[in-house]
Amino acid sequence: MSKIKPSKGAPYAKIIGVGGYRPTRVVPNEVILETIDSSDEWIRSRSGIATRHWASDQETVAAMSIEASGKAIADAGLTADKIGAVIVSTVSHFKQTPAVATEIADKLGTQKAAAFDISAGCAGFGYALTLAKGMVVEGSSQYVLVIGVERLSDLTDLEDRATAFLFGDGAGAVVVGPSDEPHIGPTVWGSEGDKSETIKQTVAWTEYDSAVHKFPAITQEGQAVFRWAVFEMAKVAQQALDAAGISADDLDVFIPHQANMRIIDSMVKTLKLPEHVTVARDIETTGNTSAASIPLAMERLLATGEAKSGDTALVIGFGAGLVYAATVVTLP
């Protein structure tokens, strides 16, 4: 018989606050066209992107995260000292150690909160949200700060016609806290490592030689990724609805990873979402911000009134790995 006392966490968990930060510099397609042979019409038709935000030297991964986190904590009606853990999902913090989460936790003014980074690409927000939910229910932290943040402009090859126009920078954050009712559904997640070559860094850091290579960048096999996202991720999204015990008719909002407008529109069609469902299309002005895209899109929908507190939303992230995570949440 175990001598360990049972955990004293909450019955359930929920998102109680959200915040976002977009760098001040707005980059239109015309800037991208200075380095690739393309057109504004082609970029818009292929991706749906008109503009994106690129960070300045001062808008570091930590700085953007702190701005977004401060808004999320305030939105939750808390102070930073109440945050028990900080989880940061990013692929663009270039220090192997220490985790950028520790710097963020300190500068926010938490009281020695647990802090760590994860790397799960564009599914990173969903992964981190799932971890946060478990921590609140298990009782190790009453309030957990989840951050998705990227400076993908640092990993963009501006001469690569297939990807130069895709990526943007930014940070999104949510606070997860206790609840008496289920407001974060079961997560449907997984990986398909046999497809890992479809989205990857061009050169490993250990192999990078500035005399031989361009600075490492993100590259992808566009058509393969598109087919996988459209056909396989719609199935995962449906599984998340089933796991939550609801149908598409019960949804108010759909917030997919902002990878490509055509992917978003195809998923809406495959899932047969009713017209009343608000669909996040933040990619048009924000670009693909990987782990930051879902919380940034969530924050914008709530700020503009396109979505409201209490709405039921399906969120799904998918990307490099290939990895994916989908769940149903109640918006804060």
State the catalytic residues.
122, 257, 288
Which H/E stretch holds residue 13? strand 12-21
Q: Which has the closest alpha carbon to 150: 27, 280, 60, 284?
A: 60
Compute the residue count for the chain: 332
130 C-beta neighbours (distance < 10 Å), count: 19
CB 128 within 8 A of CB 172: no
Strand partners, 13: 178
DSSP helix/strand/coil, 292: helix
Token reading at 47: 């991706």
C-alpha 298/C-alpha 172 separation (Å) is 9
Integer CA distances (angstroms), 38 to 161, 283, 287, in order = 8, 19, 17
User: 56: exposed, middle or buried (C-beta count within 10 Å: 0-12, 13-18, 19+)?
Assistant: exposed
CB 271 within 8 A of CB 248: yes
User: What is the residue whose two structure tokens read 């056909």?
Assistant: 231
C-alpha 328/C-alpha 132 separation (Å) is 15
DSSP helix/strand/coil, 142: coil
